[in-house]
Amino acid sequence: MKSLNEQIESYAAYHRDGRNKLTHFFGVPLVTFSFFLCLGWIRLTDWVVPVTAATVFCAIVFVYYLVLDWRIALCQAPFSLLLLLLADWAARLPFKESLLIFALTFIGGWLIQLLGHAFEGKRPALFDNLLQVFNAPLFLTVEVMEHFGIRKTEHVRPSQNVGPAPDNGLKTILGRGR
């Protein structure tokens, strides 16, 4: 398994433009919420703390994050838990309402992120490696921690090694301008 720094470097190579990063602070939580919502429809128990496919998935991903870096995992956990709680609430709504919320957040989240990648001029990282989708919340957490000086940059930013991102717009996103 790659180290956290290797994972972040790989993800950061697709996210150098500040506008792209900013869109991800909206798009990633929306997509994560929608994924938790969809998994929340699969209810294993309805105890005081419900066990759903979303809670099981979230726990597995949290353990993966802990293995990568426990400090960052603990900083990121409250945000995932909040999204998980909100998604569980939405999963309990009548199915038509729940499905509408899912569709709006899923589509909206991806559209916001694709807009960011149009600014970046580079297609999303998950087009080259689907597992990058798990790194998005960690990347955002690391960005916030570095911004506030909580975590020092331990990796070389791709923007230090190469020039500005090319302006290929949607052609690159769709895989034609790489």
Q: Quick one: pLDDT at residue 153?
A: 59
* Least confidently predicted of 44-48, 61-65, 113-117, 164-168: 164-168
- For the stretch 40-74, pLDDT in tens is 999 998 787 789 999 999 999 999 999 999 999 99
**DSSP-assigned states of every residue in 19-83:** HHHHHHHHHHHHHHHHHHHHHHTSEEE-SSS-EEHHHHHHHHHHHHHHHH-HHHHHHHHHHHHHH
Q: What residue type is assigned to position 37 of the chain?
A: L
CB 136 within 8 A of CB 24: yes
Mean pLDDT of 125-153: 84
- The encoded tokens of residue 134 equal 């798990």
| Residue 173 CA: distances (Å) to CA of 87, 108, 125, 141 | 29, 16, 10, 24
* Least confidently predicted of 72-76, 139-143, 163-167: 163-167
pTM as predicted: 0.81
Q: What is the dihedral of CA 109, 112, 118, 119, to 10 degrees?
A: -130
CB 109 within 8 A of CB 29: yes
Tell whether the model's pLDDT for residue 3 goes beyond 70.
yes
